[in-house]
């Protein structure tokens, strides 16, 4: 532990020294274009430094999330999320089974479902779409964003209360502008169901769903 603290201090001092060097160069330079070029080099250097730290940190900085399914007397399916790391915000939930598909996207960012560090929060998909949902054998995808504005996808599926699969957080692209440009509530809910004697599955009959699940 002491060794890690010493290494962190050395790296911090190195970063400060590098920044001080750039500042001295800027002061001594004459001309706006030269200063702009130097600032661009500084930004690129810090970007490379950040990416290197991300690689070295590995999975230690990934969100630690545990998902389980419970029953809710009013809305049916209840997704229980336990957050064992830093605060996260859920902005999309995708539920899919053979004959039912639900995709809920929360916009803008102020409507995200916040889960603090150490907190366990229940999400009710049925409440979001205003009808009961019972899909305990479904595959579920949870999309969340971290305080560093990095997005992750977590996949969960179970066939009973004992056997289940949960993926490690998968880094994905996240468009900040898409979620912050609108201040009005624009929650998007897409829902598809197959009833009666219609042949095939949701993926067979709705190509849009198939594209989402393949991503």
pLDDT at 167: 92
Return the residue matching tokens 């042949």.
199
**Beta-strand pair 88-97/76-83:** unpaired
The DSSP H or E segment spanning 102 is strand 100-105
Q: Is residue 82 located within the same domain as residue 51? A: no
Specify if 189 maps to a domain. no
Cis before 4? omega within 30? no
Specify if 204 maps to a domain. no
**Domains in the chain, number:** 2
Specify if 177 maps to a domain. no
- Asked if 131 and 143 count as a contact pair (C-beta separation under 8 A), the reply is no
* pLDDT digits (tens), the chain, 215 positions: 433 443 344 445 455 555 555 555 555 655 566 656 666 676 666 666 655 565 555 555 788 999 998 888 899 889 999 999 889 999 999 999 888 889 999 888 888 999 999 999 999 998 888 888 887 678 999 999 988 778 999 999 887 767 889 999 998 887 777 666 666 667 788 888 888 778 878 777 777 777 777 76
Considering 57, 86, 101, which residue would you say is the last residue of a domain? 57
pTM of structure? 0.69
What distances in angstroms separate CA 191 from CA 74, 94, 129, 134, 209, one per listed residue? 19, 10, 9, 14, 10
């Amino acid at each position: 532990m002491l060794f890690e603290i010493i290494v962190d201090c050395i790296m911090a001092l190195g970063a400060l020294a590098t920044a001080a060097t750039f500042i001295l160069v800027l002061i001594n330079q004459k001309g706006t274009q030269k200063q702009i070029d130097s600032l661009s080099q500084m930004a690129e250097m810090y970007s490379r430094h950040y990416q290197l730290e991300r690689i070295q940190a590995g999975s230690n900085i990934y969100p630690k999330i545990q998902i389980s399914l419970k029953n809710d007397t009013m809305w049916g399916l209840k997704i229980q999320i336990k957050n064992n790391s830093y605060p996260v915000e859920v902005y999309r939930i995708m539920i899919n089974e053979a004959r039912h598909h639900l995709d809920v996207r929360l916009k803008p960012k102020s409507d995200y479902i916040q889960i603090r560090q150490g907190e366990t929060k229940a999400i009710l998909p049925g409440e979001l779409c205003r009808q009961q949902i019972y899909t305990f054998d479904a595959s579920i995808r949870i999309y969340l964003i971290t305080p560093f504005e990095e997005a992750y996808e977590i996949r969960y599926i179970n066939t009973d209360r004992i056997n289940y699969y949960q993926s490690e957080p998968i880094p994905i692209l996240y468009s900040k502008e898409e979620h912050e440009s609108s201040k009005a509530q624009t929650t998007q809910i897409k829902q598809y169901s197959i009833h009666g004697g219609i042949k095939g599955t949701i993926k067979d009959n709705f190509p849009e769903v198939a594209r989402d699940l393949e991503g």
